Structure 1
Amino acid sequence: MFVIIVCMAIVVFMPMFAKIPLAVMMQREGKFDNRYPRQQQNRLEGLGARAKAAHDNCFEAICMFAPTVLLVLAMDSHTVYTVQLCIAFVLLRFVYLLCYWCDWHFARSAVWVLAVATLIAHYVLLLK
C-alpha cells in the first residue's frame, strides 16, 4: 500500500514538476508576468505552448488516476499487480511529459494509451 500512496503523491504533485519548463519559457519571453501569468502562458508558442499543455494535462491525469487508486484502496484490493500498475502509470506519465516537451506527438499519444491501459487494468482486476 505504501508504494501506491507514494505513486498517488507523485501524480498529485506532478503538475508542479511540469510547471518548471513552462516557467522557464515564460521567463525567456522577457519576464515572468506574475500579475497575469495565464495571459502570458496563452501567448507562448512552440516549447512554451507544449509545456503549458503538458502542465494542464497533469491535472487531467490526476482526475483519472486518483479515483481509480482510491477505489482500489477503499476496496482493499491492492495486490502486487495493482502496485506494478501504479508504478507503470507514474513512469509512463514522466515519459509522456518528455514526449510533450520534445514534440514527439505520435509517441506521446502511444504513451497516453498505455497509461490509460494501466487504469483499465485496475478495473479489470477489481471486477474479477
Structure 2
Amino acid sequence: MTIANWCVLAACLLPTATVGLAKLASARLPSGGGRYNNKQPREWAAGLSGWQARANAAQMNGFESLPLFIAAVVLAQQAHADQARVDLLALGFIGLRLAYIGLYLANVDALRTVVWFAGVVVAIALLAMG
C-alpha cells in the first residue's frame, strides 16, 4: 500500500475517532445524565453542547470531505501521477484535517475555516493530477 492509500484509510477513520472523544468523555457521567446511549445515539448527539457538540460537527464534516479526497487519490494513482507527490499531498491533507479537528474542538472558527479551505485546495490539487 502506498502512503496515499494509508492516508485514505486514516481519513476514513478520523471522523469516528473525533466523535469517539465526545463519547469517551461522557463515559464518566451517570446513566441518563448525558452519558452516551448506544440505543439512542442520534438523541444523545442532539443533546450535546460545547466541545462535544463541536466534535460531532467535526465528525460530520470529516465524512463530507471523504468523497473528494478518496476520488482525488484514486484518480491521481490511476493516472500514474508521480507517487511521491501524491503521497506528499495526501499527507498534507491528513495534517490539515488533524489541524481542522483541533481548531474545531478549541472553537477557533476563523482559522478553522482557512484550514478547511486549504484541505479542499490540496484535494483539488490531487484531483488535478489525475
TM-score strictly above 0.5: yes
The reply on whether 1:61 has 2:34 as its aligned counterpart is: no
Which residue is 1:76 aligned to? 80
1:78 shift after superposition: 3.8
Which residue is 1:2 aligned to? 2
1:25 shift after superposition: 4.5
Given candidates 81, 104, 113, the residue that maps to 1:100 is 104
Which residue is 1:11 aligned to? 11
- Paired residues of 2:45 and 2:56 also in contact (CA < 8 A): yes
Flag structure 1 segments of 5+ consecutive residues without an equivalent.
Answer: none
- Paired residues of 1:19 and 1:52 also in contact (CA < 8 A): yes
1:43 shift after superposition: 1.1
> Secondary structure of 2:63's match?
helix
> Secondary structure of 2:66's match?
helix
* Structure 1 residues 11-38: Cα deviation after superposition (integer angstroms, max 9, x where no partner): 1111221122220354444422111011
Whole-angstrom distance in 2 between the partners of 1:33 and 1:40? 6
- Determine which structure has the larger helix proportion and give its number: 1
1:56 shift after superposition: 1.1
- Paired residues of 2:55 and 2:105 also in contact (CA < 8 A): yes
> Secondary structure of 1:17's match?
helix
- Paired residues of 1:96 and 1:111 also in contact (CA < 8 A): yes
Q: How many residues align?
A: 126
* Structure 1 residues 54-81: Cα deviation after superposition (integer angstroms, max 9, x where no partner): 1111111212211111111222224322
1:83 shift after superposition: 1.4
Which residue is 2:20 aligned to? 20
Whole-angstrom distance in 2 between the partners of 1:66 and 1:48? 27
Residue 78 of structure 2 aligns with an amino acid whose one-letter code is: A
The percent identity for this pair of structures is 25
Whole-angstrom distance in 2 between the partners of 1:10 and 1:31? 27
- TM-score norm. by structure 1 comes to 0.88
